[in-house]
Structures are given as structure tokens and as C-alpha cells.
Amino acid sequence: MRPVLYIARKLPDEALRVAENDCEVRLWDRESEPVPRNVLLDQLRDAEGLVSVLTERVDEELLKAAPRLKVVANMAVGYDNIDVEACRRHGVIVTNTPDVLTETTADLAWALLLATARRLPQSAELVRDGGWTTWSPLGLTGLDIYGKSLGILGMGRIGEAVARRAQGFGMTILYHNRRPRPEVEERLGARYLSLDALLREADILVILTPLTAETRHLIGRNELAKMKSTAILVNVSRGPVVDEEALVDALRQGVIWGAGLDVYEREPIGADHPLLQLDNAVCLPHIGSATVATRTAMARLAVQNAVNVLKGEKPLTPV
């Protein structure tokens, strides 16, 4: 009998085909709607593999409901939705999808950075609303990027890809990381700073650190107060790394100049979220890796990881 692989979101056909010979694939067949928790737990009763996305909370309760489970293959590089320690206790292997999304996410970080600094959403809206009446000397003026300092908080693969792009903008590259990375300093001329110094010196701070117990609310009121009043904060990692209430206040009071956000403390945010009342915040719906090619590659890799484990082979990208 082939092992049951439960896939918790409708994925591209070519990703599903990766499992068709080796597994009995069961699928939550909707793309824009997460599987309800009770359905997920029910489906996992006899499943040996789970392909999850970031809306699935993999915790003790789920693991107890899935006694045959051998692998949780997350279709994301981040895996803060998974209690990895609990999985280890239950002998369940966890995998993620690094590398395939690095460049795409770095592109989005830059798109968001530029959109925020040059006020692109407001500008496009003005034209669309018929409000463009004349060229005006100081109308919709933003901030320069060229020649400024870019501060990367979390110098992993994506941080490096973001920093590489900054070279074309003649920027000074600063970073803070759990450990300094001399090889990146050599490759990109980046300079390691303490978090405190990074906050004080960066014109643009791009947050790329994973969400862990240590990084939750790493950027709060005190940290924002250390930043320049002309600084821009860009977050493309996980919302809870930033204390959102403190960020809203900082943007309202001009403690910092602007923010470009792809991620939030609770997703999705509703139309009444305070960030959406602000003219100096550009808000996107968690689309860092959202290109057809990259999402397809992520889906294929996640399914391949699950299939490998179910066939008794090594997963390609274990956590």
C-alpha cells in the first residue's frame, strides 16, 4: 500500500505529479482558502506525510492526531508555524524550501524599498483617481536611495541577495547577524555592526531575520526610537519580529520616515488595520516569493522532500 500524503493546499499540477507514483495523494483542493483545522486533523489520522503552508500550525495537538506521520514538508523557507521540537519528540522530520526563493524575495524587498522611498502607490493612485493636475516642484517627493546606507538585519541567503543588489545603487552595506559573516564582508564590502549601531546608522533597515523566541518583537519602541527620523524600515521576513503597535506610533509621530511591509503580526490584516490609515506605510499581502516560477519551484521541492522521506530516502532540504 502506498503511504498517504496529505497536501494542505491546492498546488500546481507539476508539483502534485512529483508524488503520484509513490504516494496516495490527498489534497485540500482550494488555493485561496486554508484547510479548516478539524478537516486537517481528521485527514491526518492515517497520513504519513503532510505538505503544509504557513497557515498550518503544526503543534503537539496535530502530532497527536497524526500517529503515523513521518514528515512535515513546509512550502516556505520560514517554519515558525511548526513546533520543530515537538516534531523531533514525535520522530517527525521537518523540511523547508530554502534557496529556490532567495532571488525572488530579494527582488520583492527591493520593490518594496523603492515603492516606499519614492511613494509609488500614492503616485499611481493619484493618476488613477484623476488627481494629477500639474507638475509640482515638491509634489510626491520621496527619499533618495542612491548612495545611502542599507542596514540588513539577518544576513542569511536572502540578506546577501538584497545586499548584492544594493551595490548597483552605490550604497554602503551594514548588517547585524547572530554571528558576523567575514566571507560576506569580503564579497560585498559589508560592515558588521551591533544591533544598536545598525539602528542608528542605517538609512534603510531591511528585516530578514527568521521568527524565533529571540527575535519576537526584536524591533520595539526603544529600537525604533534609535533610528533616524529619515529612516525607512522594510520587513519581508515575519511580522512579529516588529512590535506593530510601536511601529504604527513611530510612523504616526514621525519617529521614522516610512515603512514597507510584506508581513504582519496577524495575517491577513483587515481593511481597518491602523497601518492602512497611514500615508507613510506601504503594505503588501505577504508576496515575497510570489512569482509563478518560484512558487512552482517551492511546491515541487516541498512535495519532493515529503516523497523522499516516505520512500526512506534523505529529504533534500531538512530543517
- Alpha carbon distance 317, 34 (integer Å): 24
| Number of Cβ within a 10 Å radius of residue 45 | 13
Q: Which three cell numbers stand for residue 168?
A: 548597483
Binders of ligand DGY among 57-86, rule CB under 6 A? 76-78
Quick one: 176 or 238, whose CB is closer to ligand DGY? 238
**Catalytic residue chosen out of the listed positions 14, 60, 267, 313:** 267
Q: Which of 101, 166, 208, 232 binds ligand DGY (CB under 6 A)?
A: 101
Residue 264 to residues 13, 112, 177, 241, 242: CA-CA distances in angstroms? 30, 15, 22, 9, 8
Q: Mapping DSSP to helix (H, G, I), strand (E, B) and coil, where does residue 66 land?
A: coil
**Residue 236 CB, nearest distance to ligand DGY (Å)?**
8
Quick one: 227 or 236, whose CB is closer to ligand DGY? 236
Q: Mapping DSSP to helix (H, G, I), strand (E, B) and coil, where does residue 172 land?
A: strand
Give me the 278-297 binding string for ligand DGY, x by CB under 6 A, dash otherwise.
----------xx--------
Binders of ligand DGY among 256-275, rule CB under 6 A? none
Query: Catalytic: 9?
Result: no
- Alpha carbon distance 299, 17 (integer Å): 11
Q: Which residues contact 1 (CB under 8 A, 6 or more apart)?
A: 24
Quick one: 75 or 184, whose CB is closer to ligand DGY? 75
> Does residue 208 bind ligand DGY (CB under 6 A)?
no
> Does residue 142 bind ligand DGY (CB under 6 A)?
no
**Residue 289 CB, nearest distance to ligand DGY (Å)?**
4
130: left (phi over 0), alpha (psi -120 to 50) or beta: left
215: left (phi over 0), alpha (psi -120 to 50) or beta: alpha
Counting Cα atoms < 13 Å in the Cβ hemisphere of 40 gives 23
* H or E element that contains 110: helix 102-117
Q: Fill in the DSSP letter of residue 176.
A: E
**Catalytic residue chosen out of the listed positions 238, 244, 295, 300:** 238
- Alpha carbon distance 69, 66 (integer Å): 5
**Residue 274 CB, nearest distance to ligand DGY (Å)?**
23
> Does residue 239 bind ligand DGY (CB under 6 A)?
no
- Alpha carbon distance 152, 145 (integer Å): 15
> Does residue 34 bind ligand DGY (CB under 6 A)?
no
Query: Catalytic: 217?
Result: no
Query: Catalytic: 267?
Result: yes
Buried b / exposed e along 13-39 (16+ C-beta atoms within 10 A): eebbebbeebbebebbeeeeeebeeee
Quick one: 54 or 319, whose CB is closer to ligand DGY? 54
Amino acid symbol at 77: V
> Does residue 219 bind ligand DGY (CB under 6 A)?
no
Quick one: 77 or 155, whose CB is closer to ligand DGY? 77
**Residue 27 CB, nearest distance to ligand DGY (Å)?**
19
> Does residue 235 bind ligand DGY (CB under 6 A)?
no
> Does residue 102 bind ligand DGY (CB under 6 A)?
no
DSSP lists the bridge partners of residue 50 as 6, 72
Quick one: 149 or 289, whose CB is closer to ligand DGY? 289
**Residue 158 CB, nearest distance to ligand DGY (Å)?**
9
Quick one: 100 or 117, whose CB is closer to ligand DGY? 100
Provide the binding-site residues for ligand DGY, judged by CB under 6 A: 54, 76-78, 101, 288-289
Active site residues: 238, 267, 286
